[in-house]
Structure 1
Amino acid sequence: MHLRFARWTGCACALLILAGCGGAVRVDPPVPEGAAAAACEKLGERLPQKLDGADRVESTPASPYVAVWGAGQIALRCGVPRPAAMAATDQVPEIDGVAWFPDPVRPTLFTSIGREAYVEVTIGREHTPQTVLVDLAAPVKAALP
């Protein structure tokens, strides 16, 4: 548990350092395949330039499967694996027609499920998850059947 916390803290510090430099925000891109990869590329084209008041910024390494807003305050990764913490019996809330699984261990992590690809969104505490997920619902529904 301590190792996981230390690793998370290290990642958070790295994001803050990169964000403070005014450069691209480091986000590890997923590697979807086949129909999931095609759907994720479509999603990337439909994502807003501004999300909950934060402007879209570049990420590194560059990837069609990653989008970042603010100084890494909001990060989206399309084509991630199924959430490991999600059980078949979990009740998953729907927001504007998209089911978002809230990670029980990381309260800032949400994953859309039941579509061509899983979409993971990390939302910093300075943003309202409901607002962010509502704004992402239309592009997710349009790109990921």
Structure 2
Amino acid sequence: MKFSRHRLIGLPAFALLITAAGCSSADDSSSVAVPSPSEAVTKLCRNLDKALPRTVDGLSRNDPEPESALTAGWGSPVIILRCGVVRPPKMIDPKVAEGRDADAVAGGVNGVDWLQEAQDGGYRFTSANRKAYVEVSVPEGRDSAAVLVDLASAVKSAIPVGIAD
């Protein structure tokens, strides 16, 4: 696994936060809000759906309801991916950029930049510096680093580097 140093935070703090994932009480519900991005972003998300791995962190694909090419899931409790989400406010928060926000941190895993935020005791990761925002929610007991490593090649191949709409 290759971690890259992101300009906003040092590797040790990001690695520690990624490794510590596993504090969520996510339920087994497999219903999720489907994003409604622009047509261009929807096309990128459909390409991502085709590129996604069958397993993530050793778990089989288990897509949430309603069925959509913009969402995917693995395991139970489910790891949820949503493509075409809006930019999270923390992504432009100067406190995050300066490393002064205890609930959010920026970093990279295998060539994909992510914003990591605490979410209900677990973690939500949102891709950065790509033409579409991809959000991955990792529940308690899951290895966040393994999840991001497993998803990295699909994100890199389907969502070009750039600034999302």
The normalised TM-score by structure 1 is: 0.79
Q: CA deviation at 1:108?
A: 1.0
1:139 aligned onto 2:154 = yes
State the Cα deviation string for residues 62-101 of structure 1 (Å, max 9, x = none). 1110001012420000000001222254342111110010
Stretches of structure 1 that go unaligned for 5 or more consecutive residues are 1-8, 19-24
Q: CA deviation at 1:125?
A: 1.6
Stretches of structure 2 that go unaligned for 5 or more consecutive residues are 1-24, 98-105, 161-165
Report the RMSD for the aligned CA atoms in angstroms: 1.8
- Counterpart amino acid of 2:59? A
State the partner residue of 1:66: 71
Q: CA deviation at 1:54?
A: 1.0
**Aligned CA distance change for structure 1 residues 86 and 105 (closer, same or farther; 3 Å):** farther
Give the 3-state SS of the residue equivalent to 1:133 in structure 2. helix
Give the 3-state SS of the residue equivalent to 2:127 in structure 1. strand
Structure (1 or 2) with the greater helix fraction? 1
State the partner residue of 1:109: 124
Alignment of 1:66-85 (within 5 A): 66-85=71-90
1:93 aligned onto 2:107 = yes
- Counterpart amino acid of 1:71? S
Quote the sequence identity (%): 38
Tell me the matched-pair count.
Answer: 126
CA contact (8 A) 2:63 2:71 kept: no
C-alpha separation in 1, matches of 2:33 and 2:59: 20
State the partner residue of 1:46: 51
The normalised TM-score by structure 2 is: 0.70
C-alpha separation in 1, matches of 2:37 and 2:126: 15
Q: Relative CO higher for 1 or 2, CA cutoff 8 Å, sep ≥ 6? A: 2
